[in-house]
Structure formats: C-alpha cells, structure tokens
Amino acid sequence: MEGYVEKLTRQARESSYKLARLTSAQKNKALRFMAAALLKNKDFILKENRKDLDLARKNNLKKSFIERLALDEGRIKQMSVSLREVAGLAEVVGKIISSSLRPNGIRIQKVRVPIGVVLVIFEARPNVVSDCAGLLFKTSNVGILRGGSASFYSNLAVQKVLNGALNAAGINFKAFFVVEKTGHKIVQELLRAQENIDLVIPRGGEALIKKVVEISHIPVIKHYKGVCHIFVDKTADIKKALKIAVNAKVQRPSVCNAVETILVHKDIAKKFLPLLKKEFDTCRVKIRADAKTAAVISGVKMARESDWSTEYLDLAVSIKTVKNADEAIKHINRYGSHHTESIITKNKKNAEHFLKEVDSACCFVNISTRFSDGYQFGLGAEIGISTDKLHARGPMGLEELTTYKWIGTGNGQIRK
C-alpha cells in the first residue's frame, strides 16, 4: 500500500507537469485571487491562529517564538500585498538567458525553467505558507510545505484559503501541498524522497537547518543563522548611526537580519558609545562588551568569546571597539554567518573597501541590516535567505527559484 509521503510526493510531481502548462496570465490571475482570499477570510485565519497561540502559551514556549507564530490583521494584509506584488512581477520562466548561432547554423539558447518540486521545512511563521506558495506558483514550481507542529492550525487555515482561491481562479489541481501529518519520521521520509523532490529549503533556527542537512538525500539551500554586524566608522553621521543601530536591533529582534554585533571605530567610541547605550537602555537591550567598550560605558556585561558568534534573536547585542575598518572586516569574516553586514560611514573609500572584502551574502552602506529581505529588495517576497554560494545567495526570489535548460534548434544538421 502506498504510504503518505510516497503518495504526497508523487502527486506533487504530477502537479509540477500540469503547472508547467499554465500561462503567465493564468498564474497572475490566480495569485490575485489568492491575495484577495486572505483578506476576505482573515477572521477564519486569525481564529485558527489563536488555537496555536493558546497551545504555545500553555506549553510555555519562548516569547520570541510566540512572536514569530502570531498573526494579526497587519501581517495578513502584508501577506496579501506580497502575493499581489508577486503577481505584478515580470515572468522569469521561459526567459532566454543567452542565445547564440553556431557556425553550423544551430541556434543554442539557455532558457530559465522551474526547478520542479521544492520542499520547504519551517518552524513557527504561518506567513511562510502564503509567501512560499506564491513564489513557487509564480515560478511554476510545486511546493511541499512542512511547518512545525506549533503552527499546525494556522498553516492548514492558510492552505484552505489559498486552495479555495486557486479553484475559484480555474486551477483544477493542487499547486502546493501542506504536510498534514506531524512527527519527525515524516520529515525524515520527505528528506529521502529524492525521486520526486528536487530541492529542500529549510527556514528556521540553526538546529533545524543542521538536522535537515544531516538527513537529506536532496540538495539543500540554507543559512544556519544570522549573526549580522554593523560597523560604525570614524566618519559616521552619529545621528544616523544611532537610528540605524537601534532599528537593526529593536524593530524586530527575533528575525535573522536583526543586528547581533556592533563594531565601533576607536576614534568615535567615546562620543558614540554613551549615546548608543542610552538608546539601548531605553529599549531594554542588554549589552555584552569587550574591555575597550566597557572602559567607555558602564553597566554592561563582559563579552565571552562565544558571544561574538551568537545569534541572540532577542533584545541583546555584542559591542566591540576596533582600531580600523580592517579589524572590523577581519572580525566579521571570522565570527559572522555570511548573512548581512552594514557599514555606517561618510568615507567612500572605506565603504568600497568594506563592500569588497566582507564575505557575506548582503553588504550594505548606511542602512539597517533589516533591509536584507526579499520584499525590501523588490522581489515581492522571499522563500528564504541563502548564505551558500551555489546556486543562490541572499534573499531568494523568482530567479533563484529557477534553473535552466539548453535548447538547440537546427535544420537537419548532423554531427560529423
């Protein structure tokens, strides 16, 4: 008898062939229906989300975890906006990357095509269901979405609403699948279903991602954690640097693009650090500091070696005073997770030096690390962030959800 995972993945593969036949107009119409359905059914989604929140509180889960799990009208509206923006993006499937005419008269083209079936494994965020379903659908990929048990009711609610919208738009097959069974055994079976799944994207904490990589028989695109840095150069505009640092740490501390370590040039430290501590004290941010920083501001904990590579995901931050940009870059490349780094400076040469030598997926000048996000990059939404170098890096939008095929067109040529 066919098992649950075997049946699910086989259906997903069959759906991928049907999805490949849809036109761009058909897909965009369906995405707009999906966006409208989220708003129309927000009360149902929020009711189901409350079931998950009640269980999370009953099980004494961390506040940061519950924050990621919670939906409200604002987040549902953003989910809807993201789907509408994805619908408005240019089609990438079928795009000709390159084309050349060979001396023998054969036309060779490199063309973008869907990856096929993509398994997304995530933890607490129900918005992942709509973001991933939308991006995968736009790129003619079928998604198998496996959320954590803590978001079980929310995920099923979003799936029900989106599938209803697809049917209303005239799509008579399932274009994405939410795994409706819990338990680690199901995940292990999915990660070994290489016959029908082409790619795995884990979204969650470091432990989850490492476990996926360890078990999977399928290629995995990942980032283990977000140890993001801000370097405040000696020429930084102090008011801007303060706003950026506070935003990067406080606006949403539980996400992977929140800043975890702030590096401050020694020439600006005495002026900048007391002001920064005052802002962080107001926001209840706990500081771990090196000896040079602790000599300038009091009431901070001394940083341990492990703090420099820690992703706090909370109102906590490490601060270190450095002698120059070279020391800052060296620190970032040693302790960082190759996610997102930003330099605050008025010096163009220092900015260019930072951008060239920092080995991270996203490098910024004079902006918050919080902008490392597919929506902010104009991708409509993102299916994840990759700190790998193959085949995608940084926020993954439409192009990163495609591969390519070679097409040769001739007129009877044979090889001699």
CATH classification at residue 86: 3.40.605.10
At 184 the pLDDT is 86
* pLDDT, position 206: 86
Residue 356's CB is within 10 A of a number of other CB atoms, namely 9
**Number of folded domains that form the chain:** 2
217 and 237 housed in the same domain: no
pLDDT of the residue at 223: 86
Per the structure, the complete domain to which residue 243 belongs is given by 228-371
Residues 229 and 338 sit within 8 Å (Cβ to Cβ): no
Same domain, 346 and 318: yes
391 lies in a domain? Answer: no
Whether residues 25 and 147 share a domain: the answer is: yes
* Beta-bridge mates of residue 264: 232, 321
The answer to whether residues 361 and 338 touch, using CB atoms and an 8 Å cutoff, is yes
My answer on whether 83 and 183 are in the same domain is yes
CB 301 within 8 A of CB 315: no
Give the per-residue pLDDT at 53.
Answer: 97
* Nearest to 265, CA basis, from 195, 343, 206: 343
7 burial type by CB count under 10 A (0-12 exposed, 13-18 middle, 19+ buried): exposed
Residue 389 within a domain: no
Establish if 130 belongs to a structural domain.
yes
Residue 132, token pair as written in the block: 């991933």
Kindly state whether residues 49 and 196 are assigned to the same domain: yes
Residues 400, 310 share a domain:
no
pLDDT at residue number 63: 86
Per-residue model confidence (pLDDT) at position 183: 85
The answer on 86 and 171 residing in a single domain is yes
Do 186 and 179 meet the contact criterion of CB atoms below 8 Å apart?
Answer: yes
Say what the pLDDT of residue 383 is: 85
| 377, part of any domain | no
Divide the 416 residues of the chain into consecutive groups of 10 and give the mean pLDDT of each group: 89 97 98 98 98 96 88 96 93 97 98 98 90 95 95 97 97 95 92 97 88 96 93 98 98 94 98 98 98 97 98 96 98 98 98 98 98 86 86 92 97 95
pLDDT of residue 229: 98
One domain, residues 196 and 212: yes
> What integer pLDDT is reported at residue 391 of this predicted model?
87
pTM, two decimals, is 0.87
| 149 occurs within a structural domain | yes
Q: In what order do the strands lie in the sheet with 301-302?
A: 301-302, 286-289, 316-322, 259-265, 228-232, 340-344, 362-365
- 212 in the same domain as 247: no
